Structure 1
Amino acid sequence: MLWLLAVLSGGGIALGGRYWWDRRAAKRGDTEELEEIKRLADEDVTLLGEELSRLGEAVDGRELDAETRLDYQRGLDAYEAAQRTVRGIKSADSISTVTDTLATGRYAIICVRARVAGEPVPERRVPCFFNPQHGPSTTDVLWTQAGHGTRKVPACAQDAARLKAGDEPEVRYVRFHSRRVPYWEAGAAVAPYGAGYFASGAGASYIAIATFESQTGATTWGDWNSGGAYTGDLGGIGDYGGGMEGGGGGGDG
């Protein structure tokens, strides 16, 4: 009887140790995920600041009308707000607050440039799928990735032109398991970053599908038709239509 109690006691200690170890590993993973998200967001904030600096040089000495000044101030406010928000991020999911602010700032820059040039202010669209740092998309393009089929994605003017010329788009790459991969293939650790820029509509589905693939090794892109609507089964991830919705981006890519 005593030996049985000893075995059970030892087993309890082992289970407790395993639970403690798993908790530590999970916490360590959450911390690493948060740091990666903060790093990506901080890079985007820095880039927005550089774009605003260039804009300031471009309009220096010009007499700006009230609407242009308002857009310019909106961009500056977004930059300052994004800086504060990045420092205060406590969870990976809260990155959406930063990406929303960055999108507002980038769109403000586009509006200022359009008004100064005497051009119509463009509509606010979701960011460029290939790299949200490029700012708002200007059109939807059919894009084929080897082994994954063809889908329709939002693209900035420059990436749309590259694809039309037969070149590759300028994709944002990140580090994932010691490899450099497109940000949408970097799994759950970076998924909140992409989901923050594409909060709803087809943009969200692009991120969800790619995250699903990177975690499971499945290939599901072939189930998208040329119009961008998913026709397969994600096993519970949800139904994502092909319509374009959601927030806009910032400066042009």
Structure 2
Amino acid sequence: MKAVPRTRSLPALLLAALALALTTLFAPAASADTSVSTIAQALRKSPVYVDPAARDQLSAADADTLATRIKDADKPLFIAVLPAGYPTGNLFADLRSATGVTGLYGIRLGDRFDARADSSVMSATARQNLVGSVQGEDAKAQLTDFTDRALANMGGHAPRSWGGSAAGGGSTTALITTAAVLVAAGGGAYALVRRNRRRREDEQRAALDRLRVVVDEDITAFGEELDRLDFHPSEAGADDTMRADYERALDAYETAKQRMAAARRPEDVRSVTEAVEDGRFSLAQLAARREGRPLPERRPPCFFDPRHGPSVTDATWTPPGGAPREVPVCAADATRLADGRDPVIREVDTDYGRRPYWDAGPAYGPWAGGYFGGGLLPGLLVGTLLGSVMATPSYAADYGTGYGDFGGGDFGAGGYEGGDVSGTDFDPGDFGGGFGDGGGFDGGGGGGDFGGDF
């Protein structure tokens, strides 16, 4: 009799099918649910996307908190949290193309992190420095720090498609948007404009309060210079030109105090520091006349701290991670640089401690503009956080214009402001290189010395 082949029992077949189903269900590999198109679609609705396979990296509550913070700041910042095995080839360029929105894109991929940005939102140097500053942190701390620092230094506005303030609220956003359209004639549009205006006023007021501390220090220092000079119009040897110098200095001192008291927006501060600088130059002229020295040349103040007084020469200086540039310096700082020592730099308070004023945020643009106006300021600030922010098209709307030409060359901002829908019309160089190349690592868009490859 011919042998009959043995077949597997029904229970064994069922177990095998169940194991295959479980393996497929929990496989970490990317699927249609984690395609770039899916991520882009989610980011058009909310600024934070967490892949289902990466939920252990960032909880839903933490993602909602980040999303709310970004929306409240009205900035085009996009955050994606993806599993470690997600494909990285052309990830940023593909995501930017699929999303179609000008902005800053940060991606946490396993325990790695990198970011790319349109140049109209943040310069390559600022973005590299920002990425490098958060390397090595755990997911929540890293994304929180990156978000806070990015929002303080980036340009642009949030895309209109975000709508509400909770991550993943697509259906709710649609209902709110529909309702807003229906009641717009009844005042909905007016309320929205009023809310945005109030938020902008609150932001400007906070920036002005921070500036007021620095400007008051400048005015106080100028007043102390007046006292130290100890000039009396009736003293022996005083002539009309000396008295005129002294009167101009006194007038500048009073003008600076009055303008600061009347300031209502950050951009108003520029006229204050202009007055202080005019007064300091008058004092320099008076001192030269009293001592019988040649009258000083009208030069900008010392770049490192305008309280040092008018500069006496230009010196080559290279900021950390930046390119060399010629800056106006006082005699003391010129000597320090010539001896290989660090200059005495003006530091101000920030949310992250004391920082040089050029790395302290956009509010210091009007302050610096009063001291270094015209075409001088862009060359001095190139590669710094302040210079990068002032290069964005949105800066003038918040802090005023007239600080020199930030429009071309290294400060070119591109055609679209952050938050605008440009589709695939963007500079591929802003998003080039593989994942990990943009934070000062090897590859396209690198630079700096943050170390470590991905």
Question: Shorter-chain TM-score category?
Answer: 0.7 to 0.9
Secondary structure at the aligned position of 1:175 is classed as strand
Name the CA shift for 1:57/1:202 in 2 (closer, same or farther; >3 Å): closer
**Match in the other structure for 1:236:** 413
Name the CA shift for 1:65/1:92 in 2 (closer, same or farther; >3 Å): same
Secondary structure at the aligned position of 1:136 is classed as coil
1:43 and 2:210 matched: no
Code of the residue aligned with 1:141 in structure 2: it is: A
Distance in structure 2 (CA, Å) of the matches to 1:99 and 1:124? 16
User: 1:9 Cα deviation (Å)?
Assistant: 5.9
Are the counterparts in 2 of residues 187 and 215 from structure 1 also a CA contact under 8 Å? no
User: What's the % identity of the aligned pairs?
Assistant: 37
User: 1:209 Cα deviation (Å)?
Assistant: 4.9
Please list the CA deviations of residues 122-167 of structure 1 after superposition, one character each: whole Å capped at 9, or x if unmatched: 1110111111111111100001222112111111111111111111
**Match in the other structure for 2:59:** none
The 5 Å alignment of 1:1-253 reads 8=175, 12=179, 23-56=197-230, 61-207=235-381, 209-210=383-384, 211-213=386-388, 232-236=409-413
Are the counterparts in 1 of residues 388 and 411 from structure 2 also a CA contact under 8 Å? no
User: 1:30 Cα deviation (Å)?
Assistant: 1.1
TM-score (norm 2): 0.43
Structure 2 gaps, min length 5 = 1-170, 392-407, 415-454
Distance in structure 2 (CA, Å) of the matches to 1:9 and 1:106? 56
Distance in structure 1 (CA, Å) of the matches to 2:321 and 2:373? 26
Distance in structure 1 (CA, Å) of the matches to 2:313 and 2:231? 29
Larger Rg: 2
Distance in structure 1 (CA, Å) of the matches to 2:251 and 2:290? 20
Are the counterparts in 2 of residues 142 and 151 from structure 1 also a CA contact under 8 Å? yes
Are the counterparts in 2 of residues 186 and 214 from structure 1 also a CA contact under 8 Å? no
Distance in structure 1 (CA, Å) of the matches to 2:369 and 2:197? 26
The number of residue pairs the alignment matches comes to: 217
Distance in structure 1 (CA, Å) of the matches to 2:365 and 2:251? 27
Distance in structure 2 (CA, Å) of the matches to 1:113 and 1:81? 21
Please list the CA deviations of residues 209-242 of structure 1 after superposition, one character each: whole Å capped at 9, or x if unmatched: 53144689xxxxxxxxxxxxxx9532239xxxxx
Are the counterparts in 2 of residues 195 and 207 from structure 1 also a CA contact under 8 Å? no
Name the CA shift for 1:62/1:90 in 2 (closer, same or farther; >3 Å): same
TM-score (norm 1): 0.75
Secondary structure at the aligned position of 2:410 is classed as coil
User: 1:177 Cα deviation (Å)?
Assistant: 2.4
